[in-house]
Amino acid sequence: MTKARRLVCIAFALLLAASIATAQELSLAEQAAAARSARTTSAAIAPTVMGHTVSADYYNEVLGFQIRHFRGWTSMSRGTMNVSEAIGRDALGLQAGVTQAGNRAFGMHDELGSNVMVAIEPAPAGTTLDPTVLKTEVAKALKTQLPGYKVAEEPLLLGDSSHRFVGLRGTFPVANRELYQSLQIVLVNGYAVTITTTTVSAEQLESLLTQLRASLQWTQPSAQ
């Protein structure tokens, strides 16, 4: 895969991560007043909440989890993810949009189009996650810019008994090939943690999610 095509694939993952955040807000319309009072900008999130990377591994002591990078993969800074989205939007012919880089905490990719992205956003008090609503609202959020995106159930969820993810699986044609993606959200100590996983085949996505489940480690019980 060429560098340009890889950037398009990374950008697509970033776009979908942003769409999950949008869908979360849409699905909480009945909590609009609470959301307006609790909502803060991504830039206002404390650096400790966003976590940090050491030797390509991601650590988040505040939210109590870590992700070991995959051997041979490249970890991405928040700035690199922002640039990749800008390049990908242009290549996909999408409108510029507002950057969402502030909420991206960690990313890693190989050279073949597979990547993992982690985003963190404050969650208004009383927030709940409904898998059916998530699927409906993500599809709605993507309809105008990515009409070819197809949504399905996600059978392989991340997390453990204390950290319950909700998620969906999607496919979309990019650069003459089909991309396969899993988008999953968990509420942890007042924050929504979104993990977006993208690759180039259904089989690779299954393998990647299995590898990610082993790489994702929780260091404290969830308070949610």
Side-by-side strand order, sheet with 65-67: 52-54, 57-60, 65-67, 216-218
* 141-177: pLDDT as tens digits: 766 666 777 888 899 999 888 898 988 888 887 667 7
Q: Name the residue among 179, 224, 25, 6 with its Cα closest to residue 108.
A: 6
For residue 224, tell me if it sits in a domain.
no
Residue 193 placed within a domain: yes
Average pLDDT over residues 195-213: 93
pLDDT per residue as tens digits for the range 66-78:
999 999 998 887 7
Query: Which CATH number goes with the domain that contains 37?
Result: 3.40.1000.10
Domain assignment present for 56 = yes
In a domain? residue 62: yes
Determine the structural domain holding residue 133 and report its residue range: 3-218
Residue 81 within any structural domain of the chain: yes
What whole-number distance in Å separates Cα of residue 114 and Cα of residue 199?
4
Best CA proximity match to 151, nearest among 165, 164, 132: 132
Domain count of the fold of the chain: 1
pTM score, whole prediction: 0.77
Residue 33 lies in a domain: yes
pLDDT at 192 over 80: yes
Would residue 223 count as lying in a domain? no
Instruction: Identify whether 30 is part of a domain.
Output: yes
DSSP 171: E
pLDDT tops 50 at residue 40: no
Instruction: Give the orientation angle of helix 3-27 with respect to helix 131-142, to 10 degrees.
Output: 120
